[in-house]
């Protein structure tokens, strides 16, 4: 059963920055944190948040909207807008300065919003911080600045005040070495490279999760940090010789199964690391997502017939499952394969780039190519958004929101772990 279906018990409060289309906000809320403020700049993403209340109406209880403040985060005075103590600040500061799709300018890029994250921390003094960002932060060219980000998060009250970031970093390093800062104004910071597929997301998505706890809470994050529950090795093993993977997909004909199995890499079953990976659950695949998993379980998306491509039309009753014409392959792009996790969903400049959202179908004669574009709803599913989540705007804007989002299942794994750590810390007080 999906964590989003489980009975929700309030465990604390949160502020969500750079909310986008709502993936991380939904995840943190599902872990039991009540939102006090949600901020987003992009018009279409704000429309999406307004269309999807934090809590739908239930009986006599009206729907509870997100406490959304639209516009530039730099214009928000958090001390005026938030009137309750904050347990968690969560967000993914815009990643274009560090991503492969950006211009790689890092700190010099005006889109770098980490300074605003640190300002919110100074003004609200949360117990914990959850930050998701691109793996580009770990590139060697950005390593010094990433270390600076972590040091600034460790001591957010030691402000830059017009210094260069290098000068500020040097002051931070000295202060951390002295270890004489008030623990209530210091954070213990950990970063974790993750692949979302290892946490049950049907998508290869390499990211960095940064988690910080206020030092006066005395939290040992290693006791709580979520461990991978899924593996590629378990997926491969589940496909061998008519394995259990195919029991979930009885509609797949034998020729397709044979082709998939023939292309599987070999596993060294005597290798100890492989043995440990086989104890985990199989990676989820694009085919799994289309069939329905977690909250969408038992709700397969209907096939898109060629006739639905031109003119473009909705297929079935689940929103945003539209055919889209023009799928093709070209050098530098490989298609999504049904029996693998989807490729990383990217925002791109005009929505998901063409080759990144093309999928290879079982029928090699489909539309004369054997390929078609993924629908918006299929893309939402590989981001583990529930079908009830309405995306606003034209197709390109919807795809952009998804490409910029945190997969709900990945965010929920870390939000639940943070909730458990804070609950135990409260018991010790």
Assess contact for 353 and 346: CB atoms under 8 A: yes
DSSP assignment of 264-303:
PPP--TT-HHHHHHHTSEEPP-HHHHHH--GGGTT-PPPP
Catalytic residues: 95
Token pair of 99 as six digits: 């991503």
Angle between helices 23-30 and 408-428 in degrees, nearest 10: 40
Residue 30, beta-bridge partner list: none
Assess contact for 323 and 372: CB atoms under 8 A: yes
Q: Would you say the C-alpha torsion 227, 233, 239, 242 has a positive or negative sign?
A: negative
User: Is the omega angle on the peptide bond into residue 311 within 30 degrees of 0, that is, cis?
Assistant: yes
What backbone phi and psi angles, to 5 degrees, belong to 217? -85, -20
Assess contact for 208 and 134: CB atoms under 8 A: yes
- Return the residue matching tokens 């968690």: 88
Token pair of 87 as six digits: 């347990």
Instruction: Mark residue 117 as left, alpha or beta (left: phi above 0; alpha: psi -120 to 50; beta: remaining).
Output: alpha
Distances (CA, A) of 67 to 16, 55, 64, 70: 10, 11, 9, 10
Rg (CA), the chain: 22
DSSP assignment of 226-248:
PPP-EEHHHHHHHHGGG-HHHHT
Tell me whether strands 12-17 and 88-91 are parallel, antiparallel or unpaired.
parallel
Residue 162, beta-bridge partner list: none
Q: Would you say the C-alpha torsion 368, 373, 375, 381 has a positive or negative sign?
A: positive
């Amino acid at each position: 059963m999906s964590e989003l279906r489980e009975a929700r018990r309030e465990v604390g409060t949160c502020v969500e920055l750079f909310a986008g289309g709502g993936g991380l906000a939904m995840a943190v809320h599902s872990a039991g944190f009540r939102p006090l403020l949600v901020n987003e700049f992009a018009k279409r993403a704000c429309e999406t948040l307004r269309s999807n209340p934090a809590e739908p109406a239930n009986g006599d209880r009206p729907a509870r909207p997100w406490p959304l403040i639209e516009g530039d985060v730099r214009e928000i005075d958090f001390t005026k807008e938030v009137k309750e103590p904050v347990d968690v600040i969560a967000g993914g500061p815009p990643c274009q300065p560090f991503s492969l799709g950006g211009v790689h300018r890092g700190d010099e890029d005006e889109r770098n919003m980490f300074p605003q994250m640190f300002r919110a921390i100074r003004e609200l003094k949360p117990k914990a911080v959850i930050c998701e960002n691109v793996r580009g932060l770990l590139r060697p060219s950005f390593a010094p600045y990433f270390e600076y980000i972590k040091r600034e998060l460790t001591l957010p009250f030691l402000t830059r005040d017009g210094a260069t970031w290098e000068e500020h970093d040097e002051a931070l390093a000295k202060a951390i070495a002295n270890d004489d800062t008030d623990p209530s104004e210091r954070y213990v910071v950990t970063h974790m490279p993750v692949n979302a597929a290892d946490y049950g997301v049907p998508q290869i998505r390499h990211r960095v999760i940064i988690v910080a706890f206020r030092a006066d809470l005395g939290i040992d994050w290693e006791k709580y940090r979520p461990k991978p529950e899924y593996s590629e090795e378990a997926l491969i093993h589940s496909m061998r010789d008519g394995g259990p993977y195919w029991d979930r997909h009885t509609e797949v004909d034998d020729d397709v199964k044979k082709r998939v199995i023939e292309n599987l890499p070999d596993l060294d079953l005597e290798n100890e690391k492989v043995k440990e990976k086989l104890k985990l659950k199989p990676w989820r695949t694009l085919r799994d997502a289309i069939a329905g998993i977690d909250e969408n379980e038992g709700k397969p998306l209907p096939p898109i017939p060629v006739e639905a491509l031109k003119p473009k039309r909705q297929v079935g009753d689940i929103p945003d499952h539209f055919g889209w014409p023009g799928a093709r392959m070209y050098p530098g792009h490989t298609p999504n394969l049904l029996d693998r996790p989807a490729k990383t969903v990217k925002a791109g400049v005009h929505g998901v780039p063409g080759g990144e959202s093309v999928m290879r179908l079982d029928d090699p004669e489909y539309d004369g190519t054997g390929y078609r574009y993924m629908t918006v709803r299929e893309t939402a599913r590989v981001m583990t958004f529930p079908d009830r989540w309405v995306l606003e705007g034209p197709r390109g804007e919807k795809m952009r929101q998804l490409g910029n989002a945190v997969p709900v299942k990945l965010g929920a794994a870390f939000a639940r772990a943070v909730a458990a750590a804070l609950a135990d810390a409260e018991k010790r007080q």
